[in-house]
Amino acid sequence: MPYDVANDPRIDPRLKALLSAMPAMETSNVASRDQLVAEANDPALAGFQEMYKTMMEACDTPAVVSSECLTVTKYDVISQPDGNTIHINFIRPASDEVVPCVYYIHGGGMAAMSCFDGNYRAWGKIVANQNVAVAMVDFRNSVSASSVPEVEPFPAGLNDCVSGLKWVHANAAELRIDTSRVVVAGESGGGNLTLATGMKLLKDGDIGLVTGLYALCPYIAGEWPQDRFPSSSLNNGIFLDLHHNRGKMGYGIEAFEAGDPLAWPSFATVDDVRGLPRVVVHVNECDPLRDEGLEFYRLCLAAGVPARARMSMGTMHGTEIFPLVCPEISADTARDLAAFAKG
């Protein structure tokens, strides 16, 4: 039975209005990653893509967020091990003060979107207005290009995110950031990459580069529905329909079949996360991904990692990074994320 948004008493009326106006997203299975890449460039989808772009651009206006006390700078960064170029959108208070840094990884299922999209520009400014720096990384998506033209499957995006973080540390003096207070954060696919970045740093002996991980609505299971995650059935169809193979196929089916926790952190064990710094997992009540995020939080507790969980009631997946819709919810999470960075 199709999901009926109008009769769901849980959801904020503002989100109901948004959901009712949005067209359905493609949910069929695909035969290969090549099929997904071809579909992403299909001219028939131009109108659909333009509608989303318009909605995202509407978030970055003076009525939604102030830029008066901020500076915004774009940096080009060489990523390793492939030597490709990625981009950092760096937003910080317009002062010489040394401030904590939130290293932010955008969402889009590791497959699409860009930190230069309007909603991310606005979200970065909302966080930076809490007197922290925000370094937003544009990496190689797996299906549809960001501002970085190449598209590559796992582990390309993860390698780019780790490389961007190391660049931020290496250039801390110029950026005027406090390297003892750098946290990694991101939502959805960026929540996946936040947790994966932490586990990769831990594995490589570099975990001292960060003091915390803040994953919002992390997209980490790779396959849905699953009985262990009741929300993957209960909430499916609320903004996201996940009952297909597109996520694991786009990011790299081999990594999913190998159960690689750096690709899909729901495969992680206690040993994979033991030694991580502070972790926050933030979930949305009406998100099909809610329960996999909460399970990762509980895994951290079992491993002795200092962790806490937050839930935004009445919200759909990723509500926080669309500040035009529920601005007070976005502001509340931005304050918590900035406080987390400040320690």
For the segment 228-245, what is each residue's pLDDT rounded down to a tens digit? 999 999 999 999 999 999
Does residue 314 have a pLDDT over 80?
Answer: yes
Torsion sign (Cα): 340, 135, 261, 291: positive
CATH superfamily ID and name for 5-342? Alpha/Beta hydrolase fold, catalytic domain (3.40.50.1820)
Mean pLDDT taken over the chain: 95
> What residue has token string 């760096």?
90
Q: Coil, helix or strand for 93?
A: strand
Mean pLDDT of the region 129-158: 98
Grade residue 2 by pLDDT with cuts at 50, 70 and 90.
low
Contact 216, 333 (CB under 8 A): yes
Which pLDDT score, from 0 to 100, does residue 3 have?
67
Does residue 265 have a pLDDT over 80?
Answer: yes
Grade residue 305 by pLDDT with cuts at 50, 70 and 90.
very high
Q: Which of 224, 192, 190, 36 is nearest to 108 (CA)?
A: 190
Which pLDDT score, from 0 to 100, does residue 55 have?
83
Return the domain boundaries, the chain: 5-342
CA distance 137 to 75: 10
Grade residue 138 by pLDDT with cuts at 50, 70 and 90.
very high
Mean pLDDT of the region 30-43: 90
Grade residue 48 by pLDDT with cuts at 50, 70 and 90.
low
pLDDT tens column, 78-101? 999 999 999 999 999 999 999 999
Structure-block tokens of residue 141: 């998506």
Contact 185, 105 (CB under 8 A): yes
Does residue 274 have a pLDDT over 70?
Answer: yes
Which pLDDT score, from 0 to 100, does residue 24 have?
67
Does residue 142 have a pLDDT over 90?
Answer: yes
pLDDT tens column, 168-226? 999 999 999 999 999 999 999 999 999 999 999 999 999 999 999 999 999 999 999 99
Buried b (16+ CB within 10 A) or exposed e, 18-27: bbeeeeeeee
Residue 291 carries which side chain, given as an amino acid letter?
D
Contact 185, 103 (CB under 8 A): yes
Calculate the CA dihedral of residues 326, 184, 228, 16 and round it to 10 degrees: 10
CA distance 216 to 310: 9
